[in-house]
Amino acid sequence: LRLPAFVSKTRSEVSPMIEPARSAHRFRAVRSRSVALCRPLALEDYSCQPMPDASPPKWHLAHTTWFVEKTFLALFEASTPATDPTYDYLFNSYYESQGARVARHLRGTLSRPTVAEVLAYRQHVDERVQQVIERGLSSEALAALELTLQHEQQHQELLLTDTKYLLGTQPLRPAYDADDAELAAEHRPLEASVGDWLDVAEGLRELGFRGDGDGFAFDNERPAHRVWLRDFSIRKSLVTNQEYQAFLDDGGYQRPDLWHAEAWAVIEQEKRTKPLYWTDEGTHYTLRGVSPRPPHAPVTHISYHEAHAFCSWAGFRLPTEAEWEVAAPSLAWGQRWEWTASAYAPYPGFRPFAGVAAEYNGKFMVSQQVLRGASFATPAGHERLTYRNFFPPTACWQYSGIRPARAFA
Amino acid sequence: LRLPAFVSKTRSEVSPMIEPARSAHRFRAVRSRSVALCRPLALEDYSCQPMPDASPPKWHLAHTTWFVEKTFLALFEASTPATDPTYDYLFNSYYESQGARVARHLRGTLSRPTVAEVLAYRQHVDERVQQVIERGLSSEALAALELTLQHEQQHQELLLTDTKYLLGTQPLRPAYDADDAELAAEHRPLEASVGDWLDVAEGLRELGFRGDGDGFAFDNERPAHRVWLRDFSIRKSLVTNQEYQAFLDDGGYQRPDLWHAEAWAVIEQEKRTKPLYWTDEGTHYTLRGVSPRPPHAPVTHISYHEAHAFCSWAGFRLPTEAEWEVAAPSLAWGQRWEWTASAYAPYPGFRPFAGVAAEYNGKFMVSQQVLRGASFATPAGHERLTYRNFFPPTACWQYSGIRPARAFA
Amino acid sequence: LRLPAFVSKTRSEVSPMIEPARSAHRFRAVRSRSVALCRPLALEDYSCQPMPDASPPKWHLAHTTWFVEKTFLALFEASTPATDPTYDYLFNSYYESQGARVARHLRGTLSRPTVAEVLAYRQHVDERVQQVIERGLSSEALAALELTLQHEQQHQELLLTDTKYLLGTQPLRPAYDADDAELAAEHRPLEASVGDWLDVAEGLRELGFRGDGDGFAFDNERPAHRVWLRDFSIRKSLVTNQEYQAFLDDGGYQRPDLWHAEAWAVIEQEKRTKPLYWTDEGTHYTLRGVSPRPPHAPVTHISYHEAHAFCSWAGFRLPTEAEWEVAAPSLAWGQRWEWTASAYAPYPGFRPFAGVAAEYNGKFMVSQQVLRGASFATPAGHERLTYRNFFPPTACWQYSGIRPARAFA
Amino acid sequence: LRLPAFVSKTRSEVSPMIEPARSAHRFRAVRSRSVALCRPLALEDYSCQPMPDASPPKWHLAHTTWFVEKTFLALFEASTPATDPTYDYLFNSYYESQGARVARHLRGTLSRPTVAEVLAYRQHVDERVQQVIERGLSSEALAALELTLQHEQQHQELLLTDTKYLLGTQPLRPAYDADDAELAAEHRPLEASVGDWLDVAEGLRELGFRGDGDGFAFDNERPAHRVWLRDFSIRKSLVTNQEYQAFLDDGGYQRPDLWHAEAWAVIEQEKRTKPLYWTDEGTHYTLRGVSPRPPHAPVTHISYHEAHAFCSWAGFRLPTEAEWEVAAPSLAWGQRWEWTASAYAPYPGFRPFAGVAAEYNGKFMVSQQVLRGASFATPAGHERLTYRNFFPPTACWQYSGIRPARAFA
């Protein structure tokens, strides 16, 4: 089995809410992809946690299954068998309403259940879901099912980024899959010229997801609302490896004036001198192994702190998420998450999902920065113009890059 | 000597940029107040640091003096004697351009220089400044001088809040000054009824400091710019002790669903069950000692996390800083800093101060929340409608309270 | 394949230095047992590190092999191929002379090399060793070979105790091997009566390993030397689960007066209330899974701190290692390591091994306590009257128990 | 007022148990010396804690007073007024039987009570004690009183070493008293030649305090008991600054083979390259300020780890405490505490003091090393041949040095 394409052809399509007839097929397709993504791994990789933020692949496989139990089966299965209480403890990520759980940084201490047991757990849950689907789904059930799949797709991206971190920080630096041709896209150079900018005129714009019943969006993308934007310019291309190298060569990691105070404290304490995965020899680690850094490819695996410091150095700034969303239809986007200058906060009139999923987004709306766009690792069809990704400003193991903005010239 | 009034009569006046003729007088007045604020202290209090965020009073006295040296004397004194390099090391707060410094959490390990030596240092620097003033000030020098005074006033507020923390967390809980009548204002009940709300209609509004040469504002308040605001309601009064007590009585500190995820982690780890300075017996610590909590006074010393959780419980939300600034002229404000829903970020077109002061504001524009208003401890004349105070979401030792907002009813 | 017996029939035999002719056989036998010990594990268990002190099974398999390379092949193989430098980095435990190494607490982040690769590494090294053996061994080479085997045997015991910790702290509490009849010996009740004591009269005694060329002993067991012992009594049996339960029932874990100061700090910080592996329901975790605690079996997995506190409560004390060694020939010993009152220190005239093995023992001779005897998990033939085991006073995941001593009645 | 001499003329006298008639005088003399020792300090120094192990001078003054209350007044005063419960909380050092207390590392956060209040507390308690003395003391009361004075004397030594650390780590490096002539003794060169060794023949020796009712000794010095000693040589002089410099010059702090494993971890983590108080310029900090290091004076402020590493380098070893006690009558000792190779453990037959003082010594008998001798800072008459001082192997802020031992030549 080959991986499905990571990037869809046309970014303009919004993934439509699936019709009942297609549910079973879509459920199987999405769920099976998680397992497929793990296929290049050694069994030893599945349970390993290289840092607190990166979960073991096995844990992703189990947690997403547990999520299906809690947010779909618990509500729509006629007679739900009790979940194994140990699984509740093991595979709850952060849902306080679902009780105690293994501390996040200890997920790598769980050798059991085994991978085979987790795969059996997946299969058992999937069969139960398909029985429910066969009996027919109310629109409510259909929406709940879709949430489990969107959730699964988010974890598929994390599966790849966590796996890249796991393998890329092994002293032996093994490839994820050295032969997979599609992985070459991971660091594909840009087509746009770094000199091209888009000018956007001042005015009142609309932000957020406008769909009603049609199409899925997370609670954090709603409601649509107006914002006033000053005129601004945004670059058509992302910052390249070559540009970022110039920042390094100019002493970027030795100049505190370019960094936020808390960023500089990290630089000093962790003795950071370059992006994650960069080596001193002009190479970097990719899913196909260590390879030369293409100078014209977008710099990737950049933290918000790094993105800000680079912009300070270059005389640019990061766009706000409103600027990004307004400009994006005129830009090529989708192979890197793009850090924005916006802290993650509720839109005016924000209402969280109901039930278990109330904890999905709202409780993280502090101390995080928004990323927009999509990445090489985002499942096809999961990306969306209004999508709000978010990570702490130190996070650098995602496929995150830099798109410069500046005042209207 | 009595303390000058903590709160000005009329909040509507903006502190005007002082004229050259008044400079010497104003300089003496502001500088001497810092020393006056320390007068109720025991000498033992001056060097003590009760937590990493609260600096010793002696350190405030010395650092503000060092700041005058670095940002005024270094530029405008004819022949500047070299600063004692040890003082550079001891009294630099966070200015990377000024070299190495004592780690913030170790300020309490500095018994030397003594208080007498620090006061002599203040006097020496003040005399040098007055000689410069006597020779006449360019407008540039006048602006630099004003910055040192605004800086001094910010530290005066910290001096009081740090001192309150120092004394209030001593097992003996001594009063700062049990007899000072003016300190009664610290927890004065509100006049506005908790039921009154102000409705503000949707529209394009202007935010930020509009003055040109006239009047002082920090770089972070500029430039003025437009924002689109949906209609909203904001309460005319702050949340009271009684209302916050109801939140406690309803199990507010035991319900993770009300808190941000990172806030809940703090609650659990530090076993927080009530605001700082509240005791179990219906009293709280004030600058006049432990006393009953007035039920109708605004709840104070609240972290952003607590403010958010209270609002979640009560069905309110916090206002954004834009909403606050638009509504404030129609509200009574000024005895509590008011947490806003806005993360601290640059205004569009933000340009930092030049020189040493470039590090004043901009480098903190991540992972902090904005507070608006002013407090009991803010020096008279220092408050301003466009003033942007900021602290991390955990900070609770400032005079910070909660003003509810909500959707237009 | 069944595990070889964990405990030898007669403890009085000292493992004789093997003759050249038997070397190949003994090498194969010892080396293959390490692999056999891992056979009941799931592959997921091999790379997992449940706490900093417990190494992953895979790491034990690889490290012991690396040790053979460094202390035998590097010296006695005609032309030694270079060791993979990454393996040096990965599988060096604590040998400063051998360069940098993975931090101990990060061994669980190593998913690679895989188990299959480690087993291939073992086989490759073993074949090289056997070629060297076939060519004939000098007495020096024979001694070096024996050290690698003694080292391997020490790791076999750790393999079992680390594995027990790994499995016993999994929320699912899987058995290591629920069907292995020999594992029943793990918690076999004692035969001696708890009331029997051995009295030893005052006098000058000899301590330490007396053998010259015959028989193996570590450097820390030498030289033999005299000590003066006051008369003392030592109990013929170890403290039982029942006796330790009485200590718990009497509030032993709530009484600071029974504990060393640093022990009590641990009790308070980690909220310890009972031995590792004990549950609240009268059961404990064993290699065959959770099972009832036999009241008359020796209490096991006890830290030095716990052993001391128990003795303080019971009116006993721990024996010194000299007392233990003098009394042991008249006692039944060998199924539990026995904590002694002696800190780990060099014997008078101590001389460390030469070469790489200089770091084997001496550099740990501070802040550790000596244990004497042997355990259920000690490979048959590896135990010895003069053997000095040592662990920090907090260590409790070894098969460690308590033998009381007291003044002559 | 001048300080009393730090060192008595003749070390051979053992401080006799004072007779009732002399009690009041001795009590006043000892107690007043603590206050006298603080006289050179600035008031700012009294409350300052430069590291967790070094208590503020004010705390020493208060704690020793609290100890008098708890171990003398509580038992022998007719009607004891209740101790202020806050003082119990503030000034209990480590007595679990006396309830909760301020965490050791937070003693520097206590600005209150003020120094004046602590001195008043001392005076109040001293007056109560003198009233009890006037009414006549039983031999039990006399013994309890003596314990409070021995305790006070121990804190006098800590007062000086903690103060030296406090002042010596201030960036301004102030002198304690630059003019005090007696302080010159702090680093007085040795008279004995470094080449002279004392040979001690093998045999059975007696160790520990032999006195019955006459003379004070701590519980940890009893009972006297026999030990068998091999013949050994011990150097008549301590290691000098010059010798230790040679160790540095030979790369001593870069050679892991010379250090215990846990010592090397400290060297690496804290980047230690020389003894505490040594500067790079051939000077060191003394109580009279920074001054040249006398090459022939004993090296001081050495940790056990450093003492061991030096001996490893020089081909020596540290003596055991038994060796030290046997040899000391033939040696000049008393201006440096001398690290021994012995871990701190109970003597055979050890029985702790009764009552509150049960926690005085026994509970620290793990993970510490014994020092023998006395130092410049030891109050005259407090030193004793059988005295057992103890500190963790990392401690270096005491007046600790190195006396080499070796096998009989």
Chain D positions touching C346 (Cβ under 8 A) are 317, 341
How high is the pLDDT of residue D336?
97
Residue D407's CB is within 10 A of a number of other CB atoms, namely 12
Tens digits of residue pLDDT in B292-307? 999 999 999 999 999 9
Q: How large is the average pLDDT for residues D224-240?
A: 97
How high is the pLDDT of residue D20?
62
- Most distant pair of Cα atoms in chain C: their distance: 65
How high is the pLDDT of residue D153?
98
- For residue A4, pLDDT beyond 80: no
Chain B positions touching A259 (Cβ under 8 A) are 363
Tens digits of residue pLDDT in D23-53? 999 999 999 999 999 999 999 999 999 999 9
Tens digits of residue pLDDT in C265-311? 999 999 999 999 999 889 999 999 999 999 999 999 999 999 999 99
Residue type, A48: C
For residues D405 and D199, what is the distance between their CA atoms, to the nearest angstrom?
10
For residues A226 and A240, what is the distance between their CA atoms, to the nearest angstrom?
33
Tens digits of residue pLDDT in D306-345? 999 999 999 999 999 999 999 999 999 999 999 999 999 9
- For residue A85, pLDDT beyond 90: no
Global pTM? 0.94
Q: How large is the average pLDDT for residues A325-341?
A: 97
For residues D356 and D150, what is the distance between their CA atoms, to the nearest angstrom?
15
Structure tokens at D261: 């494993």
Q: pLDDT: is A400 or D195 the higher one? A: A400
B88, B98 Cβ separation under 8 angstroms: yes
Cis status of the peptide bond prior to D16, with omega within 30 of 0:
no
* % of chain B with per-residue pLDDT over 90: 87
Complex confidence, ipTM = 0.94
Do C111 and A171 lie within an 8 Å CB cutoff? no
Q: In Å, how far are B60, B74, B123, B145, B197 from B68, measured between CA atoms?
A: 12, 8, 12, 8, 44
Closest approach of C350 to chain D, Cα-based (Å): 10
Chain B positions touching D111 (Cβ under 8 A) are 42, 44-45, 48, 166-167, 170
D48, D26 Cβ separation under 8 angstroms: no
Inter-chain contacts counted by CB atoms under 8 A, chains A and C: 86
Do D369 and C365 lie within an 8 Å CB cutoff? no
For residues C188 and C2, what is the distance between their CA atoms, to the nearest angstrom?
20
Residue type, B125: V
Do B86 and D45 lie within an 8 Å CB cutoff? no
DSSP string, D312-354: HHHT-BPPPHHHHHHHGGGS---SSEEEEEEEP-PPTT--PPS
How high is the pLDDT of residue A19?
62
Chain C positions touching A50 (Cβ under 8 A) are 109
* % of chain D with per-residue pLDDT over 70: 94
How high is the pLDDT of residue A169?
97
Tens digits of residue pLDDT in C23-60? 999 999 999 999 999 999 999 999 999 999 999 999 99
Chain B positions touching D57 (Cβ under 8 A) are none
Tens digits of residue pLDDT in B191-235? 777 789 999 999 999 999 997 667 899 999 999 999 999 999 999
Q: Hunting for tokens 């170890």 — which residue is that?
A: C238
- For residue D8, pLDDT beyond 70: no
Chain-centroid distance, C-alpha A161: 8
pLDDT tier at B390 (50, 70, 90 boundaries)? very high
- For residue B11, pLDDT beyond 50: no
Closest approach of C365 to chain D, Cα-based (Å): 7
Q: Which residue of B has its CA nearest to D49?
A: B109
For residues A282 and A294, what is the distance between their CA atoms, to the nearest angstrom?
9
How high is the pLDDT of residue D16?
43
Phi then psi dihedrals of residue D398, to 5 deg: -85, 165
Do A257 and B304 lie within an 8 Å CB cutoff? no
User: Which among C105, C202, C220, C228 is the top mutation candidate for probing chain D, defined by the most D β-carbons within 10 Å of its own β-carbon?
Assistant: C228
DSSP string, D142-190: HHHHHHHHHHHHHHHHHHHHHHHHHHHTSTT---S-TT-GGGGGGGPPP
Closest approach of D108 to chain B, Cα-based (Å): 7
Chain D residues interacting with chain C (CB cutoff of 8 angstroms): 94, 96-97, 204, 225-228, 230, 232, 256-257, 259-264, 304-305, 308, 317, 341-343, 345-346, 348-349, 358-359, 363-367, 369, 393, 407
Chain-centroid distance, C-alpha D323: 20
Chain D positions touching C223 (Cβ under 8 A) are none
H/E stretch holding B46 reads helix B43-46
What pairs with residue D200 in β-bridges? D232
User: Which among C89, C107, C112, C285 is the top mutation candidate for probing chain A, defined by the most A β-carbons within 10 Å of its own β-carbon?
Assistant: C112
Q: Which residue of C has its CA nearest to D226?
A: C228
C391, C304 Cβ separation under 8 angstroms: yes
How high is the pLDDT of residue C280?
85
pLDDT tier at A20 (50, 70, 90 boundaries)? low
Q: How large is the average pLDDT for residues B14-24?
A: 62
How high is the pLDDT of residue B190?
76
Do C114 and A46 lie within an 8 Å CB cutoff? no
Residue D116's CB is within 10 A of a number of other CB atoms, namely 12
Q: Which residue of C has its CA nearest to A165?
A: C109
Chain A positions touching B228 (Cβ under 8 A) are 204, 226-228
Chain B positions touching A341 (Cβ under 8 A) are 345-346
Q: Is C124 left (phi over 0), alpha (psi -120 to 50) or beta?
A: alpha
Tell me if residue A82 falls in helix, strand or coil: coil
Chain A residues interacting with chain B (CB cutoff of 8 angstroms): 94, 96-97, 204, 225-228, 230, 232, 256-257, 259-264, 304-305, 308, 317, 341-343, 345-346, 348-349, 358-359, 363-367, 369, 393, 407
Chain A positions touching B341 (Cβ under 8 A) are 345-346
Q: Hunting for tokens 């607190």 — which residue is that?
A: A52
Chains near B with 3+ CB pairs less than 8 A apart are A, D
Residue D317's CB is within 10 A of a number of other CB atoms, namely 20
Across the interface, of D44, D48, D166, the residue whose CB is closest to B43 is D44
For residues D409 and D406, what is the distance between their CA atoms, to the nearest angstrom?
8
- For residue C15, pLDDT beyond 70: no
How high is the pLDDT of residue D187?
87
Q: How large is the average pLDDT for residues B319-338?
A: 97
Chain C positions touching D343 (Cβ under 8 A) are 343, 345, 366
With touching defined as 3 or more inter-chain CB pairs under 8 Å, the answer for chains A and D is no
Closest approach of D29 to chain C, Cα-based (Å): 32
For residues A349 and A354, what is the distance between their CA atoms, to the nearest angstrom?
15
Inter-chain contacts counted by CB atoms under 8 A, chains B and D: 85
